[in-house]
Amino acid sequence: MAQDELIVVKDLNKSFGKLHVLKDVNTSIRKGEVVAVIGPSGSGKSTFLRCLNLLEVPTSGHVFFEGVDICDKKTNIDLHRQKIGMVFQQFNLFNNMTVLKNITAAPVKIRKMDPKAAEEKALQLLDRVGLADKADSYPAQLSGGQKQRVAIVRALAMEPDVMLFDEPTSALDPEMVGEVLQVMKDLAAEGMTMVVVTHEMSFAREVSSRVVFMADGQIREDRPARELFADPHDDRLKDFLSKVLNL
Amino acid sequence: MEFLEKMVTLFTKYNSFFSAGVANTIILALFTVLLGTVLGTLLAIMKLGKFAPTRWLANVYIEFIRGTPLMIQVMFLFYGLPMVGITFPSLPFISNSDRFMAGICAMSINSGAYVAEIIRSGIQAVDKGQTEAARSLGFKSGQTMRMVVLPQAIKNILPALGNEFVTVIKESSIVSVIGIADLMYQTNSVISTTYRSLAALAVAAIIYFIMTFVTSRLIAFAERKMANGTR
């Protein structure tokens, strides 16, 4: 295992009942990489991402995070999840808490951070995404784009080593996609390691360093973004790109 | 009009009967709601838990209790249990305490099954994404329940629980069959002395309605308070 490999996925399989969703997936994520995962719907992209922090428990195979096999029953997954930020398609902000509480809850309760310091840091992060004035609002009072930016800040507040994005712009109105992508671009520019399941081909092409193309539960192509878009090898990928790029 | 006058005279004359009945009905309902909620919470935890045998047990209990009549449950506890040597004790100073205890137990056992389903569905109605977000941040499952799921579930649970309280007040009329002097029992006493059955029943109905209406208004008030707090 190379030194700078943050996540290593080995022979990962996942079945839901008779449905075999992931078939022998092998890959690794290096520090500082921005990996876009693309593919037709139902190809297993989201399931693959959710296996990386064990929201989905693999049927067989291993996921190593910072050298530790998190699929091992003896591993305390809660400890590792603190270092793996996750952003969901449906935002999933805690509806019963204000924006500020959403962000500070985990640092205060889990990291035992001083509440005052946690609030200060939360406000700083909110300011960076342009939402400092929404600190006392409830999620129900925010637009989709605002919710997703808060969700990103909530994950960042735990100072994760990697951020997982599960179709972060798919539930947004078109005019709000840009503001969320901008936050993600900034994050990438700062060197955050990111794994992004996305349908935003422009993001995959311009921001990611590597693109993983999945179809039928398998990784069909896994190459640097520029190469993959300029010269796709796999037939399924060619077909997929011709469909999504000609829209 | 004439009927209304009959009701008023009946009520003024036998006022003590009705008020004694109301007192007993309220005592019965209060204890039932309290014990039923405790039992229901316990059953809901069992049913939502990971341990299969307790989950199975809770399921059987809930299905069986909800699928059999309350009247049979009440009679079974009061007449049936003594036959196998289990009796409810007669406490000093409280007349008919054995009947009361049997009644409260039967009603609580019954209500607990319904409350369990109310709590379970209230918890399960909270979006799964809320739990996933909390777990992905590193919260343990207990913390997730306490900080994220339960505060949201309460809002689903409270209205249905209010309905259950109202149901308990009404259904408590059944315990008159084992001789608890509740409102229904007292109404029957009034009928047997006056033979004015319709007027007496109408008075009882109005009293039951006042009790249930006040309860449901109180619950609605509590709901509004809660909504103000978190929304």
Q: pLDDT tens-digit profile of A178-198?
A: 999 999 999 999 999 999 999
Does A76 contact B at CB distance below 8 Å?
no
Q: Do B138 and A106 touch (CB under 8 A)?
A: yes
How many structural domains is chain A composed of? 1
The CA distance from A2 to A27, in Å, is 12
Q: Do A93 and B133 touch (CB under 8 A)?
A: yes
The whole-model pTM stands at 0.84
Q: Do A106 and B137 touch (CB under 8 A)?
A: yes
pLDDT in tens, A136-178: 999 999 999 999 999 999 999 999 999 999 999 999 999 999 9
Nearest chain A CA: its distance from B126 CA (Å) = 10
For chain A, what is the mean pLDDT?
Answer: 94
List, in order of start, the domains of chain B with CATH numbers.
1-229 (1.10.3720.10)
For chain B, what is the mean pLDDT?
Answer: 91
Does A68 contact B at CB distance below 8 Å?
no
pLDDT in tens, B140-156: 999 999 999 999 998 88
DSSP A96-111: TS-HHHHHHHHHHHTS
pLDDT in tens, B7-46: 999 999 999 999 999 999 999 999 999 999 999 999 999 9
Q: Do A138 and B231 touch (CB under 8 A)?
A: yes
| Closest residue, chain A, to B155 (C-alpha) | A96
CATH code, domain with A162: 3.40.50.300
Write the CA distances from B178 to B17, B82, B142, B153, B209, integer angstroms.
Answer: 18, 13, 43, 37, 23
Q: Do A138 and B230 touch (CB under 8 A)?
A: yes
pLDDT tops 90 at residue B229: no
Domain extent at residue A35: 5-245
Does A84 contact B at CB distance below 8 Å?
yes
Nearest chain B CA: its distance from A229 CA (Å) = 32
